[in-house]
Amino acid sequence: MTRASRARRLATAAAYGGGGVGLAGAALVTLLREEARAARRRVTAQRTQPDPPTGNGVYGRGRATPIVFAVLGDSSAVGLGVDNAGETPGVLIAAALVELAERPVRLVKFARSGAVSRELTGQVERALPEHPDVALIMIGANDVTSRARPAESVRALAEAVRMLRAAGCEVVVGTCPDLGTIRPIAQPLRVLARRWSRQLAAAQTIAVVAEGGRTVSLGSVLGPSFATDRTLFSSDEFHPSAAGYAAAAASLLPSIADAIGVWPAAADRGLRLRRDTVRPVAQAAARAAGRTGTEVQPTEVRGRETGPRGPWARLRRRRPPEIPTPEQADEAARTAVPS
């Protein structure tokens, strides 16, 4: 079975109510669960810092109506592992959007450390009264380590995207990161964690694109470079450091900006054709899962959204842009008008 067919199988199970699609045998699932519990105990023992400040507030000045930017998901969206609001992905991206849009941006964060996909509905319900223009969702790692049923996780994410899109909000999802780089997870289970997280990321992409959202692969952002450069991890060796979150924010920013029409066309000039291709969504999802910063979004071919192998999707790999440094973003956070 190919990666594309496995991802399609998971996404299909989510769409039609199946919850029993397994990624490995019951014995291996039990083994990973025990190892995950041990890893969580080690991470908890090393964790000495609370969640950073939310950074919620209005960034930038001017009379224009602020762009409302909502951040939902788990500890990666919270920014767990850093001390200052200006080091979190939400504030880094909000500060960059101010420069790109030349408008104020209001950040509203509803992410929660430890969250799994089934909790997204509650986060969305709290976000909708804020009338967000664009939402970032970062989710999936806890679904893998807790061994949540993959199809149920994908279905919950799809429902969250559907609710946001129905309200007119653009949605960008940072898919499940590559857990194969996490040292507290021992080998050989680390290899399985990598495979499971990539399969979940691919299935997430199929489901999100079907609901009209976009995804950006964070698998490799938290993958090879993290495996060799431990400065990208915080002290608990599970969550990113400030440098790690900056790398993730740089990968996410172009898709978020493009979704609301403020990404400059000039920034994409010179992209090679191989970095901007159209494929059936299952193939696109499988390809994106292991490639740093690859965006997948719905598209059409000859006026049709669907081909003989399913819906069409566009893969696009942009060069990570310059974003405000954590120091600049932190200064913006200190001067932001609380919302």
Q: Pick the catalytic residue: 74, 178, 236, 330?
A: 236
Catalytic status, residue 239: yes
> 39-78: string of b/e by CB count within 10 Å (b at 16+)?
bbebbeeebeeeebbbbbbbbbeeeeebbbbbbbbbbbbb
Q: Rounded to an integer, what is the distance from CA 70 to the centroid of its chain? A: 13
Give backbone dihedrals phi and psi of 338, rounded to 5 degrees, phi first.
Answer: -55, 140
Q: Pick the catalytic residue: 153, 239, 241, 330?
A: 239
Question: Which single residue is written with the structure tokens 């001390």?
Answer: 83
Q: Check if the beta carbon of residue 151 is closer than 8 Å to that of residue 19.
A: yes
Identity at 272, one-letter amino acid code? R
| Residue partners of 270: CB distance under 8 A and separation at least 6 | none
Q: Pick the catalytic residue: 74, 75, 251, 330?
A: 75
Catalytic status, residue 5: no
Catalytic status, residue 330: no
What is the maximal distance between C-alpha atoms in the chain? 60
Q: Check if the beta carbon of residue 282 is closer than 8 Å to that of residue 206.
A: yes
Q: Check if the beta carbon of residue 135 is closer than 8 Å to that of residue 128.
A: no
Residues serving a catalytic function are 75, 236, 239
